[in-house]
Amino acid sequence: MKNLNGLLNISYPIIQAPMLGVTTPSMVAAVSNSGGLGSLPVGGLSPEKTITLIRETKARTNRPFAVNLFAHSVETRVSEEDLRKMENYLRKLQEKYRLPFQHKALSDYHFYNHLDQIDILLDENIPVVSFTFGLPETQIIEQLKEQGIKVIGTATSVKEAKLLDHAGVDAITAQGIEAGGHRGSFIPGEPLPQVGLISLVPQIVDAVTVPVIAAGGLFDHRTIRAAFALGAEGAQLGSYFIAAEESEANEGYKECLLHSNDTSTELTRAFSGKWARGIRNSFMEEMNNSALNIPYYTYQNSLTTALRAYGKSNGINDIISMWAGQSASQSKRGSTENLFRELIAQIQNQSNPIF
C-alpha cells in the first residue's frame, strides 16, 4: 500500500477507473481531491478533445490524476463487404425503431490512438499515464519515464502482465473478468482471457516485480480487503461511481445499473467490435442473432456512435452501451466525493483496517 501510495503520490490506494462516456473531469477531480487517484479517459479521442478534457480537470484539482490511453494499433485493413453488411443491418434496425441513420463512406473513417496524444500528455506534465488495449512502444514508455511520469499497464492474464513488467511499466492493473467495460486484453491471436479476479491477482503478483492494482467486482471494504489479501497494493473501482452525480451516464443507464443483479451483465462485441461487459439489452440480443461478422473495433465503434448518442440523449436504453461489472448493483447515488469518503470510512472503521 505504502509503495503504491508513494509511487503515485496519493493518500489512499483507491483508483477510480477510467470509463469513457461516463467519467467526467469533475469526477476525476473529486477522487483526486479526496486522496485517491482519479483517472481521465481519453482513449480514441482527438488531440483537441484530449487537451480540453485535461485542462478542465486541471482547473478542478491540483492533485495528481491519471490520463488513460488506448494502446491499440489503428487497423487500416477491413473487409469492406463485412462493413457494408453491418451498415445495411444497422440501417434496417434503425428504420425498425424509427431512428435516424447516416451513411458513412469508408474514406470518412478517421481513428486516433495514443501516438496522436502522447505529446499532449508530455507537454501538460501529466503525472500518471495508464494504458489499456495494448503494450505501449518501448520509446513511448521511455519518454514518459524520462519526464518522471508513472506508467500503469492493464493485464487480463499472467502472460500479458509479464509483457508489461518486462516493458518497464511502474504498476499493473489486473483486470478480472468481473470488470465492466472493455477488456484490456491485447495479445493477438489468443483466446480472450476470462480469468476471475481471485485467481488472477495472486498469479500476477507472483509473476511480476511491480505493484499490482486489482480491478473487477470491487465495491466495499470486504472486496477490497480480499484483493489486498491476495497481494494487490491498490484497488480500482468503476461501476461504484457510475451512478454518481458527476457521472455522464444518463438517468436510464443509472436506473438500470441500480436495479441490476449479479447476472444482468454479459460480454459483448455488439457495440464496439471489442469484447466488453455491459448490462444486457435488446441491441446486444439483435446483434447476437444477426450472424454477421462484426468489424474490427474502430470501425464497429464508429458505425454505432450515432446510434448510441441518439439513444443516450433520448433515454432509449435498448440501443446504448451500458457498461457495468458483475457488482454493478452495489452502485450508489451521491456525489463522487461522498461516495469516495464513505468507502474510505468504511475501510478505516474496521477493527483491523487495511490502510
307-343 pLDDT, tens digit each: 898 899 999 999 999 999 999 999 999 999 999 999 9
CA 355/CA 300 separation, integer angstroms: 43
Give the pLDDT confidence score for residue 151 in this predicted structure: 98
Residue 1 has pLDDT above 50, yes or no: no
Give the pLDDT confidence score for residue 34 in this predicted structure: 98
Taking residues 190-203, what's their average pLDDT?
97
pLDDT in tens, 161-188: 999 999 999 999 999 999 999 999 999 9
pTM: 0.95
Residue 105 has pLDDT above 80, yes or no: no
Contact 82, 54 (CB under 8 A): no
CA 335/CA 43 separation, integer angstroms: 25
CA 95/CA 82 separation, integer angstroms: 20
* DSSP single-letter state for residue 165: H
pLDDT in tens, 23-61: 999 999 999 999 999 999 999 999 999 999 999 999 999
Closest CA to 346 of 254, 238, 220: 220
Residues, the chain: 355
Provide the residue ranges of all domains of the chain, joining segments of one domain with +. 1-74+111-247+332-355, 78-109+250-321
Phi, psi torsion values for 151, nearest 5 degrees:
-115, 130
Give the pLDDT confidence score for residue 97 in this predicted structure: 77
Residue 106 has pLDDT above 80, yes or no: no
End-to-end CA distance of the chain: 7
CA 156/CA 132 separation, integer angstroms: 10
Give the pLDDT confidence score for residue 93 in this predicted structure: 83
Angle between helices 25-33 and 336-348 (to 10 degrees): 30
Give the pLDDT confidence score for residue 150 in this predicted structure: 98
Picking from 69-73, 107-111, 265-269, which range would have the lowest pLDDT averaged per residue? 107-111
Closest CA to 135 of 163, 171, 174, 173: 163
CA 205/CA 28 separation, integer angstroms: 27
pLDDT band (50, 70, 90) for residue 351: confident
Residue 135 has pLDDT above 50, yes or no: yes
CA 176/CA 170 separation, integer angstroms: 20
Residue 104 has pLDDT above 80, yes or no: no
CATH number for the domain running over 1-74+111-247+332-355: 3.20.20.70
| String of DSSP letters for 129-163 | EEEESS---HHHHHHHHHTT-EEEEEESSHHHHHH
Give the pLDDT confidence score for residue 166 in this predicted structure: 97
CA 87/CA 304 separation, integer angstroms: 9
| String of DSSP letters for 289-351 | HH-PPPPPHHHHHHHTHHHHHHHHHHT-GGGS--B--TTGGG---B-HHHHHHHHHHHHHTSS
